[in-house]
Amino acid sequence: MRVLHDESLAKLLVYRAVLDGTTLRTREEMLGALVVLRGDPHVPPEAMAPAAFPDLIRKFVDALVGQYRG
């Protein structure tokens, strides 16, 4: 259950970061924002497994980047 919580939290944070900015104007801007998120993921206090949280963010960002580049 902890993993599902943190996976959902990671997705929420990535989607919020992309939607809160102007990154949806172009595909390139969105991909650039995702690369930045991947490089230095923020670990929120709500994360149940803080040590593993950055990897969850990176995994989700990699999936989104693969989807938009493919």
Confidence of residue 60 (pLDDT cuts 50, 70, 90): very high
Q: Using a pLDDT cut of 70, give the percent of the chain over it.
A: 93
DSSP the chain: -HHHHHHHHHHHHHHHHHHHTTTTSSHHHHHHHHHHHHHS----TT-SSTTTHHHHHHHHHHHHHHHHH-
Owning domain of residue 29: 2-69
Q: What is the mean pLDDT of residues 50-61?
A: 96
Provide the domain count of the chain. Answer: 1
Give residue-wise pLDDT tens across range 19-52. Answer: 876 656 788 888 888 888 899 898 999 999 999 9
How many CA atoms lie less than 13 Å away from 52 in the CB half-sphere?
A: 9
How confident is the prediction for the chain on average, in pLDDT?
88
pLDDT at 22: 60
